[in-house]
Chain A
Amino acid sequence: MGRALSIVALATLAAGPLHAAGFSIFEQGSKATGMAGAVTAQADDPSMLFYNAGGLAFVEKSDFSVGATWIRSTKADFQGAGVFPGPNYSAEQETLSEFPPHAYWVQPVTNNFKFGLGVETPFGLTTSWKNPNQFAGRFLSTKASLMAFDLNPTIGWRVTPSFGIGVGALVRYSTVELNRHVPTINPFTLQAADIGALKLKGDYSTGYGFNVGLLHRVNESFSWGLSYRSKVTVDYEGDARLTQISTGNAQFDAILRAQLPFNTKLPVKTSIDFPDQASLGLAFGLTRNLMLETDVNWMGWSSFKEVAIDFTGGATNSLPDTTLAQNWEDVYSYRIGLNWTVSPASQVRFGFVYDQTPQPEEGVSPLLPDADRNGFCIGYGHTQGFRYDVGLMYLDFKSRTTNKARPEQGPFFGTYKTRAVLLGVTANF
């Protein structure tokens, strides 16, 4: 039953709105979610394959776990400002409800060598604006989505009774879709008009990377862990399609039809450099029942410089190539988590994360409006019989204001406000 569910979950692989700064999804296990992801120095449940492969070295019995994180945006608003779209303009995103899944299998091979296989959804985003035909930012983006899931086979080696190393391969499957409208100046009105809706889709493509983790359980009351997941580049191939939108003038529409490749497949290539990331965690056993962990997590978002879209359909089936400049920066997030063992069968968890946005002000746009955020977490784990974990995170984005524009796009000034709730549920077998 659990496995069947997991297959369904994987088949619907869906990404949510932004939940770790940028389009990273750090919620890959519900135990960890309850502690705001501060588990690098614990890594004692199968989600260790994501958080710190070093923990695999200490696995003593076969374990299987599967779950998903329900991500629900409760608010995603935009209030305009400046010259465009101006203080009288506001807009909203669709509230999204997504279920990025995770599944892990860990298996001891010998006393000191262990094997694990993880399926994770480490990156994803969906930005979808309501009333896309009227949305003032529709020439920048009406809907953007990206999904990435990793197949993550891992080997763990217990080097000493207290020190373990894990090494894994990352096979990343990803797809990306970008939608926007194409504008012109309508010569009959001398105002802006839509001439088409452009949909670009990069089909599922594969990229490769690796991960390593170290875990040192120094003694009963102290351990530390270090985890690294490498950069992965995915090169996508796919199609674009430009669907004509009438300007209201038949003559002008006909001229545009003669000039532009409407309603045909336009082959396209693009590429995304996913960032590498590293975590350092320190876990302290405060009492027999109380475990406190503090983590620093680094993400190398400076890899995300641009999204270059190249049309490869030659003279007839092409549009001009475009490059969406990003120029993100490396950022840190700070996490703290508390695990309170209330009874042998139950644990209660708390967590807090402060996560910085990697996105510069001039890059904030309807395509992907990112912001610093605070996450407040609470979790529960049932550790006997039917074992399961539940983690709940309230994610409060700082409002993000942009008064800067990239010259090639021009002003789209205003303030983005976002809030989301994440509910993770993971079952262990």
Chain B
Amino acid sequence: MHRLKILMGAIALALVLAGAAFAVNTGTADFTTYVALGDSLTAGFSSGSLNRTYQVNSYPALIYRQATGKTTGFEQPLVSEPGLPGILTLASLRPLSIVPSGGSGQPLNLGLQRPYNNMAVPGARLHDLLTKTQSTSANDITDLILRKLGFTQLQQGLSLKPTFVTLWIGNNDALAAATSGIAIPGVTLTPVEQFQADYTAVVNAIASTNAKMALANIPDVTSIPFVTTISRFIVNPATNQPVLINGNPVPLIGPNGPLQAGDFVLLTATAELAQGRGIPTALGGSGLPLSDTSVLSAAEAATIKDYVNNYNAIIAKAASDKNAAFVDTNALLKDLAVNGIHLGGITYGSAFLTGGVFSYDGVHPTAFGYAYIANAFIGAINAKFGGDIPLVDLYPFVFGPLPKRAGKTPPPVVAPAEELTGLVFTAEARRSLLQSLGVPQWIVDGTRRPRPHRGN
């Protein structure tokens, strides 16, 4: 009896092991050749950096590992530590200091003799999938992924004849307006008609390969800590409590006067706040208003929300038309903000630094956040295609160490240590973040928008 149990146990174990390696039930979805299209979120960008540690745990890499049981065969444009640009780290909580690591990483997979499976380009907008073939500025890392081959992200990805494609695009068509604090339809916000036309063109191109699809929608900008962390009221840095005058908190001064309910102060405002901007002279500030790029007004936020709703309607319709799995990241992040994620007594939320889901740039997820997103994709894919792809085991993302499986192991690149100084969001950190989000160069540089008819 006992021996029989051992034997049966051994058989069961062998089946489990075999199952892990070979026999994942993916339903009618086929992950033999999986291509991921998108932007920084799909690339695995985290803490202001494209970095191997996070790339190998990007949500497409996790989906591939879960769906195939394999750790090789999913090629990405890996970048060595400390990433491109150097990854942000927390140097100090008081005063709050987040700084980029010194040095920069090197491309590790530039010589791959075929397009990458993860074709996502940080900073890409929807239209870039159809048109952009190379970098357009010094900080643009498009060339790292598209390699000046003269083909777009979409063309390169589809040239692999994918059996499955995930598409999470459109974030930068709206989010860039939020992170730059400037919402101008047609400039930082893609017009809805154009979004409709481009999205249709992209999903039609994918559909023409007969690949099955998963399409993800766009989160609400007010669900990310980049927008929600800093109070619109003046805070005493010593106590972290609002300064009260006659019992009332005092709003910061924005470009249009005192900030009103519904206005958001962006994380990038920290540098200006440290200089006293936004704070009246009577309270020890410079009396100068915060700049327009530091504030997302209630009206701007409403405009962006409107656009996102329109984009999301287009994405949902496309998913239904193309019989694609639909991943509602908008609902996912709202739920995170309202209810949090609970795991074995641990609570994750959307708070900056202590929520565990968003990285030091306040926009991109942590490794845990990406694993959670991967599970949302897997859940949607299983539901649509009748598979039983196991969800990502979150244990290493909760307690570490992060999985390191990525095929080839590159030589470590030793970066010169730099002194950890400076305030949250140095100009350099801001620049790299905005680049990753496709913010127009003139906003990144702080110059005026070129407008010939409005001579300046």
Contacts and interface: CB of A to CB of B under 8 A. Distances in A.
A and B physically associate = yes
Interface of A: 80, 82-89, 136-137, 139-140, 180, 183-185, 187-192, 251-252, 255, 405, 407-412
A189 B339 CA distance: 23
A411 B341 CA distance: 10
Contact of A191 (B342, B344, B400): B400
A74 to B, nearest CB: 14
A408 B400 CA distance: 23
A215 B344 CA distance: 49
Interface residues of B, number: 33
Contacts of A86: 393-395
A136 B375 CA distance: 20
5 contacts: A84-B344, A136-B344, A183-B347, A252-B93, A410-B346
Contacts of A409: 342, 344-345
Contact of A139 (B341, B345, B392, B394): B345
B318 interface: no
The residue in B339, B347, B390 that gathers the most chain A C-beta atoms within 10 A of its C-beta is: B347
B261 interface: no
B344 A190 contact: no
Given A82-B391, A88-B395, A255 B344 contact: no
Contact of B344 (A88, A251, A411): A411
Interface of B: 90, 92-94, 339, 341-348, 353-356, 359-360, 366-368, 375, 390-395, 397-400
A416 to B, nearest CB: 14
Contacts, number: 95
A84 B366 contact: no
B392 A83 contact: yes
Contacts of B345: 137, 139-140, 180, 183, 409-410, 412
The residue in A83, A85, A255, A411 that gathers the most chain B C-beta atoms within 10 A of its C-beta is: A83
Given A192-B346, A251-B92, A84 B359 contact: no
B395 A191 contact: no
The residue in A190, A191, A251, A405 that gathers the most chain B C-beta atoms within 10 A of its C-beta is: A190
Given A83-B391, A185-B354, A410-B346, 11 more contacts: A84-B394, A85-B395, A86-B395, A140-B344, A187-B90, A189-B400, A190-B367, A191-B368, A191-B397, A410-B347, A412-B345
Nearest to B354: A185
A166 B341 CA distance: 54
A192 B395 contact: no
B93 A191 contact: no
A217 B344 CA distance: 54
A86 B398 CA distance: 11
Contact of B393 (A88, A139, A188, A191): A88
A411 B394 CA distance: 11
Contacts of B90: 187-188
A221 B90 CA distance: 81
A139 B356 contact: no
B175 to A, nearest CB: 21
A410 B395 contact: no
Contacts of A87: 390, 393
Contacts of B354: 184-185, 187
Nearest 9 pairs between A and B by C-beta? A410-B342, A139-B345, A86-B393, A185-B356, A187-B353, A86-B395, A412-B344, A410-B343, A183-B346
Contacts of A88: 393, 395
A139 B346 contact: yes
Given A83-B393, A84-B398, A185-B355, A410 B93 contact: no
B94 A190 contact: no
A285 B344 CA distance: 53
Nearest to B341: A410
Given A189-B400, A191-B356, A191-B368, A84 B94 contact: no
A140 B342 CA distance: 12
The residue in B360, B391, B398 that gathers the most chain A C-beta atoms within 10 A of its C-beta is: B398
Given A187-B90, A190-B368, A136 B342 contact: no
A89 B395 contact: yes
Nearest to B391: A83
Given A86-B394, A136-B395, A192-B398, A187 B342 contact: no
Contacts of B393: 83-88
